[in-house]
Structure 1
């Protein structure tokens, strides 16, 4: 059975922080692969700031193509919107069957809000959650402490945001070092976020 970690995000754009976390989870946990699932529309984000789905998929593809344990996924493009993680997990389990074990990946900051997710109890019943550290304030919901399905991974703390990259690029700042080289080339050619 192949163990796959699902790393959800709008990846608008994907940056080196995303890549470092995804690669770390693939190399230093018991996961065999990490799929970067491009989210078409998060119920918690405004859609108007998102690039077209296929452009974001192309950037994730460009960022991951040289990493055999990482792969882009546009599985959520096929699902009704707005979509919820529990629906994606159900869809993937139905599609791939017993050959794959799907787990979630999330930062500690997202774990704090897990109790607000649609059907989070069902997610925890059937799937593991791999948590990587983030610098954030406040405590994680105490009911998740010591939960057998929540696995903390000592990964590098990456404090880079796509919002910061978009804003600074628009302001004319050099954000090239924050992006994988192929992503920078694509973003620059397409004149995104100007």
Structure 2
């Protein structure tokens, strides 16, 4: 049987890494072989694109350049890792996927929907996750958590207004898509894990 693609989404500081570890443990406990990926990144070329996207540049990074790099990395990851794994019957747990671009570049950077749709059609060709778990966190809280981990990268330095727009777009997209589950990441992590476990086990149980 073909594997399933599960994605964890959220702003910086939402707790994605901890949740991904939990999901992998639950999937393995249910007898599924799985692997993890991250975006941008996940293949040698995509990781090089990640470094290009995140580092500070002396020149202005055009919003469209950032967007196209994100989709280029995503295409490399999909073709080289995600699709082969799914075809082999493995489950893939992704740290971000297209919803990030729709929220960050579409919402935060305010790139128009037609441009987003065109790039999506070219690179993903209709491919989408089977389940997305969106961890919702207040931008100020999330950025404070991210600062606690160390120096912020170029995107993390985009400002509170940017992340407020990004969060608003995340919430709107999640409300309109039954395959996206929103989890309150402002709760204690133990409660977040309980919610994730509940939704994931219900998903696994579905035929």
Q: Does the TM-score normalized on the shorter chain lie above 0.5?
A: no
* TM-score normalized with structure 1 length: 0.31
TM-score by length of 2: 0.30
